[in-house]
Structure 1
Amino acid sequence: MKMEPIEINEITGYWTFLRNIDWRDPWLIGLIFFHIFTTTTALLTRNRINFQVILFLTLLSMAYFSEPINEYAALNWKIFSKQQYFDSNGLFISTVFSMPILLNCMLLIGAWLYNSTQMMAQLKSAQMKQRSRKEAGIATEAKKTQ
């Protein structure tokens, strides 16, 4: 991997861009672990809706504020990074920060939709059982009055 700055003309595509990132940089490893932790938390808390709503809103807020985070990181990259990755277009922060966050948000929404369909199926089943009991009760009363 290159340790010198990447020239803009060296980047010919997205995969070239990804290959030129030093993934052994400690803060990038920490960011990857953060995304793994967030995904694991989202999966393990699938039955705790209130917690997931807070997690969802926190993640969306982080994605929303990625532009100011990118600007701050571009000014202070020497403090935590070996290379200056933070371009004005936001390609790097969108790739390593915002995209995984938004994928986690989609995971949460998918889990909520799945839970909603399960609850609707249970509700419909309970309604059908109640209706059949009610109809059976009416039929029993009709036989008694005859």
Structure 2
Amino acid sequence: MEELRSAMEEHMGLMADLVQKLSSELRSGMRPAYDNFIGFFHAIDWKEPWLISLLTFHVVLLIITIFSRKNTNFQMCLFLLTLLGVYFAESLNRLLGDNWKKFATQNYFDPSGLFLSVLWSGPLLTIAILILINTLFCMCYLIVRWKKAELRHRARLSRNKQD
């Protein structure tokens, strides 16, 4: 019995060490990512008119997405347009990188496209995911309605056969 107890205590000690190491790695692992995000956030001049317009565009698109949630055909068109916006992000990054002096105070458009991915593709993909989730809910609701109608029809047929 004593051997079992000591084995359990040893196992619990090992588990506690593993949990402690994992939690310290997670805490130290998130700090560099957080520092990079804060550096990215502070490197941008958020008062530039084109950035304000871009953010306004995304907010308006989100509002349109929310208010048109019952119109599935419109939402599918919106879904395709958002995905096309993401698809052409690389070309857009190249175009904006070549002409940044005409509308911006600094060149945000690096060859890897990080800036445009975060401020253009990220919100568009988020909106596309919202549309996709809404479409799945609509489909589930439609399937339930269809099944209820089918059951009502079968019940009517069975009542007619009994008469």
Which TM-score band (shorter chain)? 0.7 to 0.9
2:73 to 50, 57, 61: 50
Deviation at residue 25 of structure 1 after TM alignment: 1.0
Name the SS of the counterpart of 1:112 in structure 2. Answer: helix
Aligned to 2:133: 110
Aligned to 1:14: 37
2:90 to 31, 52, 67: 67
Deviation at residue 13 of structure 1 after TM alignment: 1.4
Which amino acid counterpart does residue 91 of structure 2 have in structure 1?
P
Return the alpha-carbon distance in structure 2 between the equivalents of residues 133 and 54 of structure 1. 39
Aligned to 1:30: 53
Name the SS of the counterpart of 1:31 in structure 2. Answer: helix
Which amino acid counterpart does residue 77 of structure 1 have in structure 2?
W
Q: Which consecutive segments of 4 or more residues in structure 1 shift more than 6 A?
A: none
1:132 aligns with 2:155: yes
Name the SS of the counterpart of 2:64 in structure 1. Answer: helix
TM-score of the aligned structures, taking structure 2 as reference length: 0.75
Instruction: Say which structure, 1 or 2, has more relative contact order (CA 8 Å, 6+ apart).
Output: 1
Name the SS of the counterpart of 1:13 in structure 2. Answer: helix
| Structure ranking higher in helix proportion | 2
Return the alpha-carbon distance in structure 2 between the equivalents of residues 19 and 113 of structure 1. 38
Which amino acid counterpart does residue 75 of structure 2 have in structure 1?
Q
Q: Which has the larger radius of gyration?
A: 2
How many correspondences in the alignment? 129
Name the SS of the counterpart of 2:109 in structure 1. Answer: coil
What are the superposed Cα offsets for residues 68-111 of structure 1, whole Å, 9 maximum, x if unpaired?
A: 11111111111111111111111100000000001111111111
Return the alpha-carbon distance in structure 1 between the equivalents of residues 122 and 95 of structure 2. 19
TM-score of the aligned structures, taking structure 1 as reference length: 0.83
